[in-house]
Structure 1
Amino acid sequence: MGTNRNVDRRTILKAAGATAATLGLASTTACGGDGGTSADGTVTIRYAWWGAEDRAQRINKTIELFHKKYPKIKVKTDFQPYTDFWKKFNTQASGGNPPDVFQNAIGFLRKYDAKNVLLDLSEQVKAGNLSMDGFRAGLEKFGEIDGKLLGVPVGSNSMALVIDKPVYTKAGVKPEQGWTWDDYHAAMQKIRDKAGRAGDTGPYNVMYLYDLYLRQNGKAFFTEDGLGFSEADLTDWWTKARKSVEEGLYADVKKVAQIKPKSAVTGELSGGEFTWDNFTIRYTSEGKSEYGLAPIPTTDGKKTGQYLGSLMLSASKRTEHPKEVAQFIDFMVHDPEVAKIMGYDRGVPATQAQFDAFEPTDEVNKAIAAYETSLVEAGVLEPITPHPAGADICEAAFLRIGEELGLGKRSVGDAVKQFFTESKTALAS
């Protein structure tokens, strides 16, 4: 369910944990233990996530609250940068010792379900240990795969177009809900001609945006068991992208690479770029302009193809304490005080109670909340297609190969062939 989307997704996802890299591999809180039960009946569960030091501090505060409500459940924590998290998780899962509860994302549900790692939490819902009521905009279905509840959302986000507002004003462009791709491309020309910079960083290697474009046209990036588009579809997408770079509508990829990790928008190479709405706080911290959120262009003026994405909490099938794990997840997604501590660190709170409990005071988070509210009110949100096992590898390939195309290292035909070759291998494994 990352920013300068051309700080590529790998960097985006790692950015959440970059600070933590200096802290060593893990941090623990609460009484220790190995996931067992002590003589007085106290249970210890292990909770792991990826993220930076700030996220760790927030989560540890929420765990302190949990301990007050459930003094017989102690939580041992482990947080790391994104890539290190999955390396360690894979080792633990392969060894039959994954954490009891852990942060997860849509691209990994089928993968780890197929490996028999994930606990179906449906039985805990039936037992009353976990409530799936009160979620916003259908998010309660986000972690369901083949009738099994494999993840519970903790926050939401959706794709948006982040814009440099003064640049758009200077170009006379005012994007509104329902604008089309033709409107968007005309806007890119105005920004280039009137503001003197590329209109967009270039959306050609943003998998989640291409997914929306496909969904607008009756397809999707993924089906439940593979890719939902053809080589001809991708050839058309990447051919248009290359032409837009040549025409100066999209930013020069070499220049974008030179200013990383700064984004092309804050580096004043482009007037906007597509990314997840809750990543937008970085632009204010990086740049000196005023930034805002604009709606996704459409094919027909109505259908955006959008959905609310989410980080989730999943549980290990090997946990000795499924009830306690379920109670922990329930607390983390429903308790209003948790929302006040976490804010929008993991996206806009997934449940209405937590959404109502945290009222942002800064303009960036207010804009994020307003943007997601506008999507609900506009009625454009749809269910997401569950990603197949291997989706994470396909996403990384799309990002890397798309960037190579932009840098001139590959022709369109070669890029398309390489992507499909790598994806078919990943999806078949």
Structure 2
Amino acid sequence: MQQGGNARTGIERRTILKAAGASLAVAGLGATATACGGGSGSADGTVTIRYAWWGGEPRAIAIKKSIALFEKKYPKIKIKPEFTDYEAFWEKFQTQASGGNPPDVFQNAVAFLRKYDKRGVLMDLKTQADAGNLSLDNFRNGVLAAGQADGKQLGVPVGANTMSLVIDLKAFRKAGVQPEFGWTWDEYFEALQTIQDKLKIAGDTGYFTIMYLYDLYLRQNGKAFFTDSALGFTEDDLTRWWEDGYKRVRSGLVADPKKIEQVKPKSGLSAGLAASEFTWDNFSIRYEGEGESDYGLAPIPTTDGKDTGQYLGSLMLSAFTGTQHPKEVAQFIDFMVHDPEVGKIMGYDRGILATTEQYEAYAPSDGPDKGVKAYEEEVAAAGVLGKITPHPSGADVIEAAFLRIGGEVAQGKAKPADAARTLFSEAKAAFAG
């Protein structure tokens, strides 16, 4: 791993990456397309498979362009698209899966892999790779592992992202604060105190309610949020994390959660309520579209001056194990993750492109995508990327609970120790579900 001392050179150019001039790539919600029944076939040998995803209108437009390319190459395979926003997608998917009628191919994420594998919904895509219908080669920086659990390939990544710290560049410069690779949590909070003292705004929007950031902190300390079947930390661990967070809310170092709530759906960072916010790096483009300042990506604080705990997360494509057309489904997934033209069309809408063919085919032209690419390359070069921990069944429920209960702590509605007890109780129920 790259040592903190050596990594502190050339920081302004290399680790604070300006994101400029973009609108939110996932803004707006696409109209939901409905479909009934599973994949179908016709008398001339043409088959139809259903492909479902969540996201906004720009993503839908790009995916439909990609589908048109696929159908040109494979004229005997027709793709029926279904798309909606995130919450509606999973509500609908749960109903479809329970009825034995999920889409043949669908967008997926790590929190749902074991949940739906446990229910017999997900195909092990290694079977199609072994049959020669799908390539599992040429995935970058070990991201293929994001789709693996229990020895199976349950999803194939289409993009990769990692947690980052988005900062208001003007605020940090005015305060004379310079983030550095390898800086510690103490140094981060000292920087936020300087910002508060000099600019009279909060330093952070609410770091301690983000499950994936807490996971990084735990990984820095030899633990992780999840083990294969349970939580990987104690109630005492979480109580301390939330106690520290609430102290910083009361001191004004973390923004008032009521004010954060009032500006939604705008971020507290782009609304000028705070100077920094932790989020996935490819989400960072939203701030330029929402805010009046300039925003950039800065390094994740560390415990020991070198280990950030970071790993690559991913959106991925999964397949229904009961599809009537497994070969065609595999061919479609293969095309969507490897075809260079698809890479050019999709860009970084779903994260940095996961395969070398698509990564090399797409040259970012705007500031935000260039910034995200440079940030991930810097993190990879630092040697800090670890392997993602598979999420147990129920992880999606626990993530939502962590955000909700952490928010109650931030608002002073729940004491940290009581909140931690509640989270563990809800996690136990989620794991049993």
Tell me whether the two structures share a fold, i.e. TM-score over 0.5.
yes
Is 1:93 the equivalent of 2:100? no
Look up the match of 2:29.
19
Matching residue within 311, 319, 328 for 1:324 = 328
Q: Which amino acid aligns with 2:270?
A: T
Q: Evaluate the alpha carbon distance shift between residue 141 and residue 34 of structure 1 in structure 2; reply closer, same or farther with a 3 A threshold.
A: closer
Is 1:241 the equivalent of 2:248? no
Q: Which amino acid aligns with 2:344?
A: K
Matching residue within 412, 416, 419 for 2:420 = 416
Look up the match of 1:7.
none
> Does structure 2 retain, via aligned residues, the 8 Å contact 1:50–1:103?
yes
Structure 2 residue runs of 5 or longer lacking an equivalent are: 1-24
User: What aligned pairs does 1:382-421 form with structure 2 within 5 A after superposition?
Assistant: 382-421=386-425
> Does structure 1 retain, via aligned residues, the 8 Å contact 2:38–2:323?
no
Q: Distance in 2 between matches of 1:42 and 1:64?
A: 15
Q: What's the CA shift string for 1:328-355, capped at 9, x where partnerless?
A: 0000000010011111111110111111
Alpha-carbon RMSD: 1.4
Look up the match of 1:4.
none
Q: Evaluate the alpha carbon distance shift between residue 34 and residue 146 of structure 1 in structure 2; reply closer, same or farther with a 3 A threshold.
A: closer
Matching residue within 363, 371, 376 for 2:375 = 371
Look up the match of 2:155.
151
Q: Distance in 2 between matches of 1:236 and 1:395?
A: 19
Look up the match of 1:335.
339
Is 1:64 the equivalent of 2:68? yes
> Does structure 2 retain, via aligned residues, the 8 Å contact 1:253–1:406?
yes
By relative contact order (CA 8 Å, sep 6+), the higher-ranking structure is: 2
Matching residue within 208, 219, 235 for 1:215 = 219
Q: Evaluate the alpha carbon distance shift between residue 317 and residue 17 of structure 1 in structure 2; reply closer, same or farther with a 3 A threshold.
A: farther
Q: What's the CA shift string for 1:92-140, capped at 9, x where partnerless?
A: 1111111110000000000000000000111111111111111110012
Structure 1 residue runs of 5 or longer lacking an equivalent are: 1-14
Is 1:135 the equivalent of 2:139? yes
Q: Which amino acid aligns with 1:209?
A: L
Matching residue within 299, 306, 319 for 1:315 = 319
> Does structure 1 retain, via aligned residues, the 8 Å contact 2:145–2:388?
no
Q: Distance in 2 between matches of 1:221 and 1:315?
A: 27
Q: Secondary structure at the match of 2:231?
A: coil
Q: What's the CA shift string for 1:191-243, capped at 9, x where partnerless?
A: 11112211111201000000000000000000010100000000110011011
Q: Distance in 2 between matches of 1:91 and 1:66?
A: 29
Q: Secondary structure at the match of 1:160?
A: strand
Q: Could you tell me the TM-score, scaled by structure 1's length?
A: 0.93
Q: Secondary structure at the match of 1:168?
A: helix
Look up the match of 2:210.
206
Q: Which amino acid aligns with 2:33?
A: A
1:411 offset after TM fit, Å?
Answer: 1.3
Q: Which amino acid aligns with 1:212?
A: L
1:36 offset after TM fit, Å?
Answer: 2.0
1:421 offset after TM fit, Å?
Answer: 1.0
1:257 offset after TM fit, Å?
Answer: 1.1
1:81 offset after TM fit, Å?
Answer: 1.2
Q: Distance in 1 between matches of 2:249 and 2:373?
A: 33
Q: Distance in 2 between matches of 1:174 and 1:153?
A: 34
Q: Which amino acid aligns with 1:26?
A: A
> Does structure 2 retain, via aligned residues, the 8 Å contact 1:17–1:80?
no
1:33 offset after TM fit, Å?
Answer: 8.4
1:17 offset after TM fit, Å?
Answer: 7.4
1:18 offset after TM fit, Å?
Answer: 4.5
Q: Could you tell me the TM-score, scaled by structure 2's length?
A: 0.92
Q: Evaluate the alpha carbon distance shift between residue 33 and residue 316 of structure 1 in structure 2; reply closer, same or farther with a 3 A threshold.
A: closer
Q: Distance in 2 between matches of 1:398 and 1:111?
A: 18
Q: What's the CA shift string for 1:272-327, capped at 9, x where partnerless?
A: 01001001111000011110000100000111110010000000010011111111
Q: What's the CA shift string for 1:379-405, capped at 9, x where partnerless?
A: 110101100000000000000011111
What is the identity percentage for the equivalent residue pairs of Structure 1 and Structure 2? Answer: 63
1:408 offset after TM fit, Å?
Answer: 1.4
Matching residue within 30, 51, 57 for 1:47 = 51
